[in-house]
Amino acid sequence: MVDVTGTARSRAFVGALERSGPAGEVTPERIRVVGLHAWFGRTPAVRGVSLRVQTNRITAIIGPSGCGKSTLLRCLNRMHELVPGARMEGRVLLDNEDIYATEVDPVMIRRRVGMVFQRPTPFPTMSIYDNVAVGLRFNGVRDRRTLDGVVEHSLRQAALWDEVKDVLGRSGTSLSGGQQQRLCIARALAVQPEVLLMDEPASALDPASTLKIEDLARALRDHLTIVLVTHNMQQAARASDYTAFMLSGELVEFGPTADLFTRPRDPRTEDYITGRFG
């Protein structure tokens, strides 16, 4: 692990930790996407999407496989650019700051905009404790009392503390699938993101674990903004405040979840949510 104690990044991170709320100015509109196009090589994945994500709300993105919803999600914290041959055009504004501006550090963007993946990804050689603390240590936090406090707080936020508080030294992979996913959520929360991106976080879980993830997302929206990609329309209807429907890389419809599911404006949206295709 690289020791970055004393660097500008470390000082900025510790300063954010010491604030009572998430880093950055809180605005009604946390993220604004303007004319976003994304490609893998010459293959277009996202076509001209514009979207506004509200602060402290859950925004779901639905659509059939291959519609571009996961690619759009990865563009929101610059993970798309890590894929060889991938590129994008357009703007993604986080609190009115263009995250793709040349002077912006992508590592700090990924701290501010965390991500939870489809399958649980605990680090197999690390304990439960270290899985949560790894981001803090990378950002220069070494004080044990600080680490202990943030690890406990993050595990409590992820509704996992009571289940693991006596076994923090065990491997993260010793947990059940649902517990591993909540551990990954705790790991993301430990660095105090403003936004949490969730890419089908319950698709590999049983129904009981799925409901825990949904309950957790609803509880977390009091503290941060969530963008949830899901193939499960019932999950989007239950858990989200706003829903975006994508098809063939395009944003077909976006609005309050209750409106989109009960009064869709576009016939393609109605066809999808009623099961006529997809």
Flag whether 42 is in a domain.
Answer: yes
- Can you give the CATH number for the domain in which 264 is found? 3.40.50.300
Q: Please state which of the ranges 32-36, 90-94, 207-211, 242-246 shows the lowest mean pLDDT.
A: 207-211
pLDDT at 250: 98
In this structure, the strands spanning 29-40 and 43-54 are: antiparallel
| Domain enclosing residue 240, as ranges | 29-119+194-274
pLDDT at position 28: 87
Structure tokens at 14: 């510790």
Number of domains in the chain: 1
Is residue 160 domain-resident?
A: no
Whole-number Å distance between alpha carbons of 50 and 42: 21
> 112-145: string of b/e by CB count within 10 Å (b at 16+)?
bbbbbbbebebeeebbbbbbbbbbbbbbbbeeee
Residue 178 lies in a domain: no
Residue 139: predicted pLDDT = 84
pLDDT value, residue 193? 96
Q: Determine the Cα–Cα distance for residues 27 and 94; give it in Å rounded to an integer.
A: 10
Assigned domain for 12 exists? no
What's the pLDDT score for residue 14? Answer: 44
Q: Does 97 have pLDDT greater than 60?
A: yes
Q: For residue 24, tell me if it sits in a domain.
A: no
φ/ψ region of 35 (left if φ > 0, alpha if ψ in -120 to 50, else beta) reads: left
* pLDDT tens, position by position, 1-34: 333 344 444 454 444 444 333 334 444 899 999 9
Q: Provide the whole-model pTM.
A: 0.87
Query: Tens digits of per-residue pLDDT, 163-221?
Result: 999 999 999 999 999 999 999 999 999 999 999 999 999 988 889 989 999 999 999 99
Q: How many whole angstroms separate alpha carbon 170 and alpha carbon 128?
A: 6
Residue 183, phi then psi, degrees to nearest 5: -65, -40
In a domain, 64, yes or no: yes
* Residue 278, pLDDT above cutoff 90: no
